[in-house]
Chain A
Amino acid sequence: DIVMTQSPDSLAVSLGERATINCKSSQSVLYSSNNKNYLAWYQQKPGQPPKLLIYWASTRESGVPDRFSGSGSGTDFTLTISSLQAEDVAVYYCQQYYSTPLNSFGQGTKLEIK
């Protein structure tokens, strides 16, 4: 099974500053036949279900602000919020869907305002 590990577990960033969350998979989630990374990012605000932000490691879901971006390939990925807004306070999860149906999530990173 592919294990997803996020870092840090929690993060405090000042408003307007950059926030960076890392996700590492125990094996590559890059599918060589189509050169796509099977990696998604979700945002979960308190009391709400998760919301899809990014898929294929770097494709922003429709309606997601462009301050959110995803990067990386193979086993190492990053979610970046370029200029933190108050409404971005949430827990963020990465998920691999390379080895579905046994897909797996990272443990989550809690993002707060400094």
Chain B
Amino acid sequence: EVQLVESGGGLVQPGGSLRLSCAASGFTFSSYAMSWVRQAPGKGLEWVSAISGSGGSTYYADSVKGRFTISRDNSKNTLYLQMNSLRAEDTAVYYCAKDPFDAYCSGGSCYFWYFQHWGQGTLVTVSS
């Protein structure tokens, strides 16, 4: 059974940093693309970042580019999101999500899929 368990959320001041983790089990972690998707309180879903199975290709939404870094440790079956220069508008529940396949990469670009499995999420609150 696929399991994704996020951790690392909490209260942080504007301008601060936080590192989220997503521990994966029940599948061959390195064979699947992964993403972070967030949901502000009472709002809809927003894709944040994606990473290929090898970790060699990473992508970001414009809203977080230059501030957030996605990474993975395939030996530990863990996905990460390093969040720096946090803003009030980054307040949200952050979900890690697993694609049904690895990214398809061709011509210098990678293509991802829908989100087949989701974690329970971890709440990040940016406030002074």
Contacts and interface: CB of A to CB of B under 8 A. Distances in A.
Do A and B pair up? The answer is: yes
A103 B112 contact: yes
Interface stretch (A11-19, A20-28, A81-89, A92-100): A92-100
Contacts of A100: 50, 110-113
Given A100-B50, A101-B50, A50 B45 contact: yes
Most buried by B among A40, A52, A61, A106: A52
Interface in A38-72: 40, 42, 44, 48-52, 55, 61
Contacts, number: 59
Interface stretch (B23-31, B82-90, B117-125): B117-125
Contact of A40 (B50, B59, B110, B114): B114
A52 B44 contact: no
B114 to A, nearest CB: 4
B11 interface: no
B111 A101 contact: yes
A77 interface: no
Given A93-B45, A100-B50, A105-B47, A49 B113 contact: no
Interface of A: 40, 42, 44, 48-52, 55, 61, 93, 95, 97, 100-108
14 contacts: A40-B115, A48-B120, A49-B95, A49-B121, A51-B118, A52-B114, A52-B115, A52-B116, A61-B116, A101-B47, A101-B59, A101-B111, A102-B59, A105-B47
Interface of B: 35, 44-47, 50, 59, 61, 95, 100, 103, 110-121
